[in-house]
Amino acid sequence: MEKKRVFSGIQPSGRLHIGNYASAMRNMIALQDEYSCVYGIVDYHAFTIKFEPKEMDDRVFNCAVDYIAAGINPQKSILMLQSTVSEHTELAWILNTITPISWLERVPTFKEKKEQNPHNVNMGLLDYPVLMAADIIIYKAAVVPVGDDQVPHLELTREIARRFNSLFGETFPEPKEQLARVSRILGLDGVNKMSKSLDNCIYLDETKEEIWKKLSTAVTDTDRKRRSDPGNPDVCNIFTMHKAFSPKKDIDHCTRECRKAGIGCLDCKKILLDNMFTELEPIQKKQKELRKKREYIYDVLHDGKKRAKKIAVETMDEVYEKLGIKVFH
Ligand code: SF4
């Protein structure tokens, strides 16, 4: 039986952070055996905010390195650069024609991005979820591993797929999101999403010392003013990180001791640091090796382009047929 397909994408932001890793990438890695996976470095999406063209090649390269170092196996999964499969934008245009603007205006990330980029509220920012829908349904993906901030986009993707199917005949399956056990890690400020632009991230390639510098000053339960005050792990972002990186015995120990002030926040953070770094260290070793192999990384992306394009072209042929365009397709 043919394996069901998975699609997920990560923007080439330069460096991946532990939020990307824990909320989406771990699932992306875990799904590789059971599903036929297509993973994209979604550069079209990155163009919607101001960027430096001179840096883009390195950003793409580093993103591919991070994917492979973390465990994406290019022999099993397709790793591709979105703009090399231009059918993504081709399908997005068609989906644009059936997507009411009101659906896009209500997407929460559009409101956030408008606030973050008040001088660059471009069409791409509004249209981003339609391109994301195209990214997913062009591969007829059944499952999409994402962080919980992407759930509204998945709902919209299903709505768009449903509308296409009802207008032109059954073509696209409705994809389901797959959330991680910890689907959202906040930034070091404990309030905002982990984001490079807010400078509140822990990156996958940081040394243990660098991570400790950040963790040691990271916000915890803000009501815990003194070491002798009991804390509340349920409102503490450090505890959320524990749930993402620590074994059960450490999670149980920290929650129990926190609640009776048996442990200080620094002790708790040290336990987290050790657990987090145990997971990151082998990834970092692999990153270092892969960064010396630019040709290999480009070969992987080239191969990914060929394999992804084959699927995307097949879907577009079907789409044009459904639209009644038969002369050249
Ligand atoms: Fe958070 Fe740990 Fe401090 Fe409790 S002890 S408030 S879980 S950092």
248 annotated among ligand-binding-site residues: no
| Ligand 1 geometric centre to CA of 178 (Å) | 28
pTM, rounded to two decimals = 0.92
Strands 176-179, 36-41: pairing is unpaired
As a whole number of angstroms, the distance between CA 88 and CA 139 comes to 10
User: Mind listing the domains of the chain with CATH numbers?
Assistant: 5-186+293-328 (3.40.50.620), 208-287 (1.10.240.10)
As a whole number of angstroms, the distance between CA 112 and CA 129 comes to 14
Burial class (CB in 10 A: 0-12, 13-18, 19+), 155: middle
What pLDDT does residue 8 have? 96
What pLDDT does residue 148 have? 85
| Ligand 1 geometric centre to CA of 61 (Å) | 37
Written in H, E and C, the secondary structure of 81-110 is EHHHCCHHHHHHHHHHCCCCHHHHHCCHHH
221, 228, 242, 253: residue to mutate for ligand 1 pocket, most atoms within 8 A of CB: 221
What pLDDT does residue 328 have? 67
The residues carrying an active-site annotation are: 113, 193, 196
264 annotated among ligand-binding-site residues: no
What pLDDT does residue 209 have? 98
Nearest CA to ligand 1 atom 8: 265
What pLDDT does residue 244 have? 96
Residues forming a β-bridge with 156: none
What pLDDT does residue 329 have? 62
What pLDDT does residue 114 have? 82
What pLDDT does residue 119 have? 84
The secondary structure of residue 193, as a DSSP letter, is B
Give average pLDDT by consecutive 10-residue segment, the chain, 329 residues: 92 88 93 97 91 94 96 97 98 98 88 81 91 98 91 95 98 95 90 87 96 97 93 96 97 97 97 98 98 98 98 97 84
